[in-house]
Each structure stands twice: as C-alpha cells, then as structure tokens.
Chain A
Amino acid sequence: MILSIKKPLYVFLLLVILTACNSATQPARTQPTENNNQATSAQHLDIKLPLQEKSVRFAVIGDSGTGGRDQYEVAQQMETYRQAIKFDFVIMLGDNIYGSHQPRDFEKKFEVPYKPLLDAGVKFYASLGNHDDPNDERLYKPFNMGGERYYAFRKDEVAFFALDSNYMDPKQLDWLDENLKSSKGKWKICFFHHPLYNDGRHHGPDLDLRNRLLPIFQRNGVNAVFSGHEHVYQRMKPEQNIYYFVLGNSGQLMTHDLRDSGDRAKGFDTDRGFMVVEIAGDKLYFQVISRTGETIDSGELERR
C-alpha cells in the first residue's frame, strides 16, 4: 500500500536523477553570442569564389546607411564572409549616410554596424549618392576619399575609379578620361551611385549620364561598372564588353521593383544583400549574398 502510494514519487525522483546524469555527460552549452554564431556560420558557408593566391578580393555595398536593423544584419553577414574570404576592402556605391549627418549618424549608420570589419582593418572606399552630404563625407577619413568627390586607387592589377554621379561636371569628365587613359591597371572598374542601365521601376537608367560616360568607358577599356540608387540587386547583360552591376539594397529595399526589359541577366528585389568579388588574372568571380545568408547570384566573368 505504502509502496503503491509512493510509486509516482519514486518514478519522478528516478527521472530527475537520470536527467541530471544525462546533462552532466553532454558538453556545456554556450550562450548564443554573435561571435559564436558567426564562427559556426563561417564553417558552413557556401563560398563560390575560388580564393586563389594573390587575388584581389573586395566587398560591395550600396544604399547602406539607414542605421536600421536590416543594415546591421547585412553587416553581420559581411563579417561572417570576411572571416572566410578575407576581403580587405569594401567599395560603397553611395547613400552611405541617409538623413541628417550629425556625429551620431556617422556612428549609427557606419561605425557601429561595420565595427567588426573596421576592427579587422578592412578599408571602405565611398562614392557619393544623392542622400549623402558631399562635404562631410569626402572629408571623413574612414571613407578614404582623400577629400575629393571623385578619386582613383589601385589594388595590384585592378584600378578603381570612384565617381560623383550627382554632379558629373566637365572637369570630372575630363579627369576620368585622362586617368582611365593613363591607367596601367589590367582591370578598370568604375563605381558611382546612379546606374546607366537599370530595370528598376522607381528610378530607371540615367540616360544623360549614360550618354556622357559610355564613350569614355568604351574608348578607355573599362571592364566593369558598379552602381546603386535602385534599391535592388541587378546583373545586367554585358554592353559593349562592359559588365554592369546594380546593388542598392545593402540597407534600403524596394520590394518587387523590377520589371523585365530583357537587358537583365539576374535580379533580386525581395531582400537586402551585399556582394563579394575576387579578381584573379583575367577572371572576375562574384557572389551576391542576402541578409539571411542565401546566395542570390554568383558566377565568373572573363575580361574582354
């Protein structure tokens, strides 16, 4: 009788002891910190770049500076991929700081989200968008603009030209023509805010800018062009041997913005993202990654 009354109690105690023993044999669970998540994710990344020795590797972001949660989540993915890919610089396609440009905005919209990258020594090279303050940003040293609205820099055999498409005055056009002509870069890459080709409904292509820049690009052997402004990702079909990418969704997003013109090879308008690029010899490898870590687009392009 006594045994029958106490039976459930014995069973309960036995279960408690067994659970305790089981827990003791399991490895201790760690707190799900950011770093642990990144380290775990980095091991399971689907890297599409060949990661060759002595290649030039960089990331691309556009229309990033919202200071919102989505920008931070993209930035976190970037750090995860940096650990695996070891890119050492980022090109920014404009709209780097939206809204006011008070010191707290530079913190919230740039310094804090990209802190892990900045701490790892990654350099950011900015171009100016229509939401940027040209004077503040060109003088802000972490943007590496050297105090100029437009500038050039070189990474091994790749020459980069950051342009100010808000104000493409004759002086800038002359500068671009001369500097592209005299560049010894095997690859010539231009980046600026307003896209020359664009299937987005919101803005569309900048026809006058295209009219002025295209002849300069063509006569000086530009290989690839990166732009932002339209808050989506687009890889356009090559035009006259030049590859065009639009990436304006690293902070902002315009969902279901794309129309089909037949000019586009790939588009993505349902989430935010960033791009990683590797250039080795005559090949440019690229991979576009969404905010949630999904690979949206990837491929290799031949220098023409």
Chain B
Amino acid sequence: MNIALKLVITGILSFLVLSHSFAQNKDETPLKDFQQRIAKYLEARKKNGVSTKPTDSADKLAEQKHQAVEKTRETRPDAKQGDIFTPQVGAYFKKQIAAALQGRDGAKVSASLRHAEPLPNVPLKVNEKYPQDLPLQSTPPTLLLHLPRLPDELHYRIVGQTLVLFDVTSNLIVDFLPDAVPKP
C-alpha cells in the first residue's frame, strides 16, 4: 500500500471517529441538561413534602391528592412550557422519537400508537391536571426504551402528537413538547 493510500484511509477513519464523538457530545449536552432540570424539579418537590400513601378511604385519597397538587404547584408557581423541554432538549427528544419510529420495530410502535386511543385535542397546560375523565394513551415500550429513563415520580405520556412529562403523584403536567411524534 502506498503512502498516499494510507494517508487517505487514516484521514477517513479519523473523520469518522471525530464525527461520531462530535455527535455523541452534541447529544450528551441536552441529555445532561434535561437530567439536571429533572433533578432540580424533584429536589424542590421533595423540599415541599409532596407524598402520598395507601389508604382504605377514597375521601383520604382525594384529600392527599389535593395536598399533592397544591404543594407541587407551590414549588414552581411560574412554571411554563419549555422550562424542561428547552429548544435544545426538545430537539434531542424529537430525534429519539424519530429513531424509535424509524427503527427495526418502528412499524409496531406506530401501530401501537394508532391503536392507543389517540386524543388530538386535549387542552394541555403546565401545572394543570391532565383531565381525569379522559383516557390515557398508552406509551409504547419501544418508544420508552429510546427516551432517557425517568425517576418513579415522573412519567412520559403521548397525547396525540405531543410528548407530555407528568408528575405521577399529583397528575400535574410538568412540561410538554408539541409535535414530538410525527403525524402518521
């Protein structure tokens, strides 16, 4: 192999390694940012003593929930859409969801989304409750495998084309990302 060819191959390999590492770094930043924002949210929530426990009484359940809602709202009274799904974080999530839909199991994920009673016109607002009389759209497991893992207190939900971040205890909407799921 002559020197010129060796140089070309080394150049290509270096470019591939560098571009891969650049792509990784590009993804690491929003991921880290997202995780930090989640940690901050949970810390504030913990400080405010948001907790619930099992009970025999439906009245106590309602009271616990009311308390949880009030305390969670108090932790971030000025919360607004995009506080957690910043433009950079949002772009990362859209990329991950697209990867799940275009991957090997993408057709099954799409089929599950279609069959999960999609609700396109649910009014969503940060710090408000998800309407209790509306069904929850199930979130395909493969989609969840592509998204950053969440602590038990929080869940992702798909509502139509929107990705919603839910506080499980209070049922409050922590943040949401419109047009996260491409239209079928």
Contact between B112 and A140, CB atoms less than 8 A apart: no
* A259 sits at the interface (CB 8 A): no
Q: How far is the CA of A280 from the CA of B53 in the complex (A)?
A: 37
Q: Which of A99, A106, A147, A206 contacts B58 (CB 8 A)?
A: A106
Contact between A139 and B141, CB atoms less than 8 A apart: no
Contact between A167 and B52, CB atoms less than 8 A apart: no
* A208 sits at the interface (CB 8 A): yes
Closest to B133 in A: A99
Q: Quick check: which of B24-32, B81-89, B142-150 contacts chain A, the rest being far away?
A: B142-150
Question: What are the residues of chain A within 8 A of B157 when measuring CB–CB?
Answer: 167
Q: Quick check: which of A3-11, A74-82, A128-136 contacts chain B, the rest being far away?
A: A128-136
* B161 sits at the interface (CB 8 A): no
* A29 sits at the interface (CB 8 A): no
Contact between B61 and A139, CB atoms less than 8 A apart: yes
Q: Quick check: which of B5-13, B14-22, B103-111, B175-183 contacts chain A, the rest being far away?
A: B103-111
Question: What are the residues of chain B within 8 A of A170 when measuring CB–CB?
Answer: 141, 144-145, 149
Contact between A169 and B141, CB atoms less than 8 A apart: yes
Contact between A134 and B168, CB atoms less than 8 A apart: yes
* B169 sits at the interface (CB 8 A): yes
* A171 sits at the interface (CB 8 A): yes
CB distance from B55 to the nearest CB of A (A): 6
Q: How far is the CA of A212 from the CA of B108 in the complex (A)?
A: 11
Contact between B61 and A140, CB atoms less than 8 A apart: yes
CB distance from A213 to the nearest CB of B (A): 8
**Interface 1/0s, chain B 123-167, versus A by CB < 8 A?**
000000000110111111111110001101001010000000000
* A173 sits at the interface (CB 8 A): yes
Question: What are the residues of chain A within 8 A of B140 when measuring CB–CB?
Answer: 208-209
Residues of A within 8 A of B (CB): 99-103, 105-107, 130-131, 133-136, 138-142, 146-147, 165-171, 173, 194, 203-212
Question: What are the residues of chain B within 8 A of A103 when measuring CB–CB?
Answer: 57-59, 61-62
Question: What are the residues of chain A within 8 A of B150 when measuring CB–CB?
Answer: 169
Residues of B within 8 A of A (CB): 52-59, 61-62, 64-65, 105, 107-109, 111-112, 115-117, 132-133, 135-145, 149-150, 152, 155, 157, 168-171
Contact between B56 and A141, CB atoms less than 8 A apart: yes
Q: How far is the CA of A170 from the CA of B155 in the complex (A)?
A: 12
Q: How far is the CA of A101 from the CA of B171 in the complex (A)?
A: 12
Q: How far is the CA of A212 from the CA of B142 in the complex (A)?
A: 8
Check A141/B54 contact, CB under 8 A, given A133-B171, A136-B61, A170-B144: yes
Q: A170-B145, A206-B138 are in contact. List 10 more A-B contacts (CB 8 A).
A: A102-B62, A107-B58, A135-B52, A136-B65, A141-B54, A166-B136, A169-B144, A204-B115, A205-B115, A208-B112
Closest to B155 in A: A167
Contact between B133 and A173, CB atoms less than 8 A apart: no
Centre residue among A107, A170, A173, A209 by max chain B CB count within 10 A: A209
Contact between A131 and B142, CB atoms less than 8 A apart: no
CB distance from B81 to the nearest CB of A (A): 22
Check A133/B55 contact, CB under 8 A, given A140-B61, A170-B144: no
Contact between B64 and A101, CB atoms less than 8 A apart: no
Contact between A140 and B54, CB atoms less than 8 A apart: yes
Contact between B54 and A208, CB atoms less than 8 A apart: no
